[in-house]
């Protein structure tokens, strides 16, 4: 009988110790902050890299519980994702909006509820958010335009027919990449823009179709400026299928080593312009904010030109050559 009671007591105290352990469980206690990340889509390699870089950075902070939602390339789904974060009362929201206008009200609502929002890569229609992090798309567009002018004969003498393939027209990077480029080529009387703006929605297959139509219509195309590398590559493939790829230069944007830089190295694209993902920086800034530090309203990520002069070197550095 005595033994039985002792055993029960030992059992009980072990159980209560275990119970206490659970209450102070490392996982729940260490995770002080809930960070909600709303991604626009994961259909493009650049988005996958973005998510990967964001997760790697978040793993460095045991106090972060990270929730990631995929907007499935659909503004309505992305609005619902942010609504979910608002009702869960997360500590901070990171968002890379598919389009500006549709996502602005829900971000404004989060701010009204006292949840700080860091906007990544694509901007909104107003500045009612905590911080924006992204590349300078206007600068990238201008740099691509200057590069095009140089390759088409130089300032004041450039000559050529250009096809511009837009990313999603309702997204600010496409608008800025267009206006920056237009600024650089506008002084060149010898440069002709062949087609009316057409929305390629950042997709390789849509760009293929836009380019196939342009190739059908125009006998002489000298340069394609696409708002990202997948679309520049889609345009290249369309030209290749018609045996005309050698007479055309293709410029893209993003410069992911295994994608755009590889295509430059293979000679398919002439150049690409670096557009870093804001994944890691987004988490770093969110952590600063959560720890009570002041953060800047704007963080600009750097860019660079990648063409045949430096593509191999970058691929080597990334272990891809
Ligand atoms: C991916 C992407 C990139 C592009 C960025 C612009 O969805 O299309 O290729 O640089 O979005 O927001």
Residue-level pLDDT at 31: 76
pLDDT in tens, 27-39: 445 779 999 999 9
pLDDT in tens, 260-298: 999 999 999 999 999 999 999 999 999 999 999 999 999
Calculate how far, in angstroms, residue 46's C-alpha sits from the geometric centre of ligand 1: 6
On the CB side of 211, how many CA atoms lie within 13 Å of its CA?
34
Phi-psi region of 72 (alpha: psi -120 to 50; beta: other; left: phi over 0): left
Residue-level pLDDT at 237: 98
Calculate how far, in angstroms, residue 230's C-alpha sits from the geometric centre of ligand 1: 9
- Nearest alpha-carbon partner for 70 in 101, 47, 49, 93: 47
202 in ligand 1 pocket by Cβ < 6 Å? yes
Q: What is the DSSP string of 258-316?
A: IIIIHHHHTTSSSEEEE---SHHHHHHHHHHHHTT----SEEEEP--EEETTTHHHHHH
Residue 29, burial from CB neighbour count under 10 angstroms (0-12, 13-18, 19+)? exposed
- Nearest alpha-carbon partner for 283 in 51, 27, 48: 51
Q: What is the DSSP string of 137-201?
A: HHHHHHHHHHHHHHHTT-TTT--EEEEEEBS-TTSHHHHHHHHHHHHHHTT-TTEEE-S---B-T
Residue-level pLDDT at 98: 96
Asked if the model's pLDDT at residue 13 lies above 60, the reply is no
226 in ligand 1 pocket by Cβ < 6 Å? no
Evaluate whether 29-135+278-301 and 137-276+308-317 have a shared fold.
yes
Asked if the model's pLDDT at residue 19 lies above 50, the reply is no
Residue 305, burial from CB neighbour count under 10 angstroms (0-12, 13-18, 19+)? middle
- Nearest alpha-carbon partner for 168 in 209, 123, 201, 141: 201
Residue-level pLDDT at 6: 43
- Nearest alpha-carbon partner for 37 in 74, 90, 110: 90
pLDDT in tens, 76-94: 999 999 999 999 999 999 9
From residue 23, give the alpha-carbon distance in Å to each of 30, 34, 264: 12, 19, 55
Percent of the residues in the chain that have a pLDDT greater than 70, as a whole number: 91
Tell which CATH architecture fits domain 137-276+308-317: 3-Layer(aba) Sandwich (3.40)
Percent of the residues in the chain that have a pLDDT greater than 90, as a whole number: 90
177 in ligand 1 pocket by Cβ < 6 Å? no
CB 107 within 8 A of CB 117: yes
From residue 293, give the alpha-carbon distance in Å to each of 30, 31, 214, 286, 298: 20, 19, 52, 10, 15
Tell which CATH architecture fits domain 29-135+278-301: 3-Layer(aba) Sandwich (3.40)
47 in ligand 1 pocket by Cβ < 6 Å? yes
Closest ligand 1 atom, residue 171 Cα: 12
Asked if the model's pLDDT at residue 245 lies above 60, the reply is yes
167 in ligand 1 pocket by Cβ < 6 Å? yes
Residue 238 to residue 240: CA distance in whole angstroms: 5
Q: How confident is the model at residue 23 (pLDDT cuts 50, 70, 90)?
A: very low
50 in ligand 1 pocket by Cβ < 6 Å? no
Average pLDDT for residues 230-250, to the nearest whole number? 98
Residue-level pLDDT at 9: 41
Calculate how far, in angstroms, residue 248's C-alpha sits from the geometric centre of ligand 1: 23
Angle between helices 279-290 and 45-58 (to 10 degrees): 30
Q: What are the strands of the beta sheet with 223-226, ordered from one edge?
A: 191-193, 160-165, 223-226, 249-254, 271-274, 305-307
Asked if the model's pLDDT at residue 219 lies above 50, the reply is yes
Q: Per the confidence metrics, is the pTM higher than 0.85?
A: yes
Average pLDDT for residues 147-157, to the nearest whole number? 98
More confident residue, 111 or 21: 111
Residue 321 to residue 230: CA distance in whole angstroms: 21
Calculate how far, in angstroms, residue 155's C-alpha sits from the geometric centre of ligand 1: 30
231 in ligand 1 pocket by Cβ < 6 Å? no
**Minimal-distance CA residue to ligand 1 atom 8:** 202
Residue-level pLDDT at 18: 39
Sketch the domain layout of the chain as residue ranges.
29-135+278-301, 137-276+308-317
Calculate how far, in angstroms, residue 300's C-alpha sits from the geometric centre of ligand 1: 16
- What rounded mean pLDDT belongs to the chain? 92
44 in ligand 1 pocket by Cβ < 6 Å? yes
Residue 127 to residue 273: CA distance in whole angstroms: 26
**Minimal-distance CA residue to ligand 1 atom 9:** 228
For residue 51, the SS3 value is helix
- Nearest alpha-carbon partner for 270 in 240, 220, 229, 313: 229
Residue with tokens 């004969």: 153
121 in ligand 1 pocket by Cβ < 6 Å? yes
């Amino acid at each position: 009988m005595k033994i039985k009671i002792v055993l029960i007591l030992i059992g009980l105290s072990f159980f209560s110790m275990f119970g206490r352990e659970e209450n102070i469980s490392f996982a729940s206690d260490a995770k002080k902050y809930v960070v909600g990340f709303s991604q626009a889509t994961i259909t493009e390699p650049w988005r996958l890299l973005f998510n990967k870089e964001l997760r790697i950075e978040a793993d460095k902070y045991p106090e972060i519980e990270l929730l990631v939602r995929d907007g499935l390339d659909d503004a309505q789904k992305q609005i619902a994702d942010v609504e979910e974060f608002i009702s869960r009362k997360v500590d901070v929201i990171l968002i890379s909006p598919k389009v500006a206008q549709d996502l602005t009200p829900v971000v404004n609502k989060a701010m009204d509820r006292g949840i700080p929002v860091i906007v990544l890569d694509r901007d909104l229609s107003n500045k009612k958010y905590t911080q924006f992090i992204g590349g300078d798309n206007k600068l990238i567009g201008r740099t691509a335009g200057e590069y095009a002018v140089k390759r088409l004969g130089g300032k004041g003498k450039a000559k050529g027919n250009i096809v511009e393939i837009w990313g999603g027209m309702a997204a600010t990077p496409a608008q800025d990449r267009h206006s920056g480029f237009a600024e650089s080529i506008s002084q060149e009387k010898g440069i002709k823009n062949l087609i009316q703006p057409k929305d390629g929605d950042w997709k390789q297959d849509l760009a293929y179709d836009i380019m196939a139509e342009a190739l059908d219509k125009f006998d002489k195309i000298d340069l394609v400026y696409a708002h990202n590398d997948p679309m520049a590559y889609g345009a290249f493939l369309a030209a290749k299928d018609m045996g005309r790829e050698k007479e055309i230069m293709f410029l893209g944007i993003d410069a992911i080593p295994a994608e755009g830089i590889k295509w430059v190295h293979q000679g398919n694209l002439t150049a690409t312009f670096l557009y870093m993902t804001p994944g890691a920086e987004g988490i770093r800034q969110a952590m600063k904010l959560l720890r009570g530090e002041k953060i800047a309203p704007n963080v600009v990520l750097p860019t660079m030109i990648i063409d045949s002069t430096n593509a191999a070197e970058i691929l080597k550095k990334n272990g891809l050559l």
